[in-house]
């Protein structure tokens, strides 16, 4: 059975052992969450990928996967997102080297491609292999599916708490008509009261939501490529985001 993995990748190349900030979520073909974990190292992520992809898998990674030399002002795909009024941090290799030690998504992609029966970076589906990888951008996916959403990053703790609660409710009951419903029963964190989470807990909760959204984006793309848009290209970098659903006209 095909699986759909969303990886909200922490960008630091060498995270400390206690920093489990890469979230991995796996959906099946019915959009049921079958696995959710927090990881530290690339090896942790590869272990999950190998276990979940025996029947084929599409992976959406929230991190730059293709970074051309000289991308100091950001990649073309990021400029196109900005034109769509979707804010994104421009990818600058030198800045990434200073801040994070490099571009971790590029390195992870190379490792996925090197696996036995390895993965293929794909900007269209179906790919030539049943193991495909694409870059996703959860913030853009949220905006495309739901329109205006509350800001949930870089905001005060209580504002983040309220925003994450709203996003959780949108995932549970606010998806557009014609889009698969997401089953989240296996995400234990959903059984906790958001009001009880610490600042770190809220950050981790946000990682969880973004991993689920990355998985859901590539699931939509697999089920019907017309539901998504590929922004950019394989040579200079691309990002897959959902197309905006038709909005009901006001009466």
Q: CA 115 to CA 95: how far, in whole Å?
A: 29
Residue 175 lies in a domain: yes
Quick one: which of 239, 237, 240, 238 has its CA closest to 217?
Answer: 240
Mean pLDDT of 34-43: 94
The average pLDDT across 49-70 equals 93
Task: Name the packing angle between helices 199-223 and 157-173 (round to 10°).
Answer: 30
Q: Which domain holds residue 236?
A: 3-242
Question: For 183, which DSSP code?
Answer: B
The number of distinct structural domains making up the chain is: 1
Q: Which positions ≥6 away from 145 have C-beta within 8 Å?
A: 170, 175, 176, 179, 242, 244, 245
Distance CA 178, CA 193 (A): 30
The CA distance from 132 to 155, in Å, is 34
Asked whether 224 and 239 are in contact (CB, 8 A), the reply is no
Residue 249 lies in a domain: no
CB 240 within 8 A of CB 221: yes
Residue 62 falls inside a structural domain: yes
Q: For residue range 99-151, list pLDDT tens digits in order.
A: 999 999 999 999 999 998 889 999 998 777 789 999 999 999 999 999 989 99
Residue 250, pLDDT score: 38
Helix residue ranges, H only, 69-198: 76-83, 93-100, 104-114, 138-146, 157-173
User: What are the tens digits of pLDDT across the range 182-235?
Assistant: 988 776 655 567 888 899 999 998 999 999 999 999 999 999 999 999 999 999
Is 221 a member of any domain? yes
| Dihedral sign from CA coordinates of 59, 141, 1, 207 | positive
Q: Does some domain include residue 102? A: yes
Q: Which of 203, 14, 210, 204 is nearest to 99 (CA)?
A: 14
In a domain, 248, yes or no: no
* Among 145, 148, 195, 194, residue whose Cα is nearest residue 174: 145
- Please give the residue that has the higher pLDDT: either 73 or 186: 73
> Side-chain half-sphere of 36: how many Cα atoms within 13 Å?
21
Q: What is the pLDDT of residue 251?
A: 36
177 contacts: CB under 8 Å, gap ≥ 6: 245
The token pair at 50 is 């190998």
Q: Flag whether 251 is in a domain.
A: no
Residue 52 lies in a domain: yes
The residue behind tokens 């179906």 is 126
Q: Compute the distance between CA of residue 177 and CA of residue 215 in angstroms, rounded to an integer.
A: 19
Its sign, for the CA torsion 142, 109, 33, 192, is negative
């Amino acid at each position: 059975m095909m699986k759909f993995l969303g990886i909200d990748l922490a960008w630091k190349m060498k995270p400390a052992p206690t920093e489990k900030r890469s979230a991995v979520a796996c959906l099946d073909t019915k959009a049921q969450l079958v696995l959710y974990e927090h990881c530290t190292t690339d090896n942790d992520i590869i272990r999950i990928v190998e276990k979940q992809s025996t029947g084929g898998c599409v992976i959406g990674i929230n991190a730059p996967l293709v970074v051309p030399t000289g991308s100091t002002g950001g990649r073309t795909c990021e400029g196109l997102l900005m034109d769509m009024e979707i804010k994104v941090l421009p990818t600058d290799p030198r800045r990434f080297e200073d801040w994070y030690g490099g571009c971790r998504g590029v390195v992870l992609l190379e490792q996925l491609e090197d696996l036995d029966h390895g993965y293929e970076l794909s900007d269209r589906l179906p790919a030539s292999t049943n193991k495909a990888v694409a870059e996703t951008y959860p913030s853009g996916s949220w905006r495309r599916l739901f329109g205006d959403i509350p800001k949930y990053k870089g905001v005060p703790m209580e504002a983040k708490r309220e925003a994450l609660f709203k996003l959780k409710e949108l995932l549970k009951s606010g998806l557009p008509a014609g889009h698969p419903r997401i089953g989240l029963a296996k995400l234990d964190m959903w059984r906790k009261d958001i009001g009880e989470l610490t600042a770190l807990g809220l950050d981790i909760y946000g990682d969880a939501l973004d991993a689920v959204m990355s998985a859901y984006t590539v699931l939509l793309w697999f089920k019907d490529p017309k539901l998504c848009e590929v922004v950019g290209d394989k040579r200079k970098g691309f990002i897959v985001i959902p197309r905006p659903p038709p909005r009901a006209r006001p009466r």
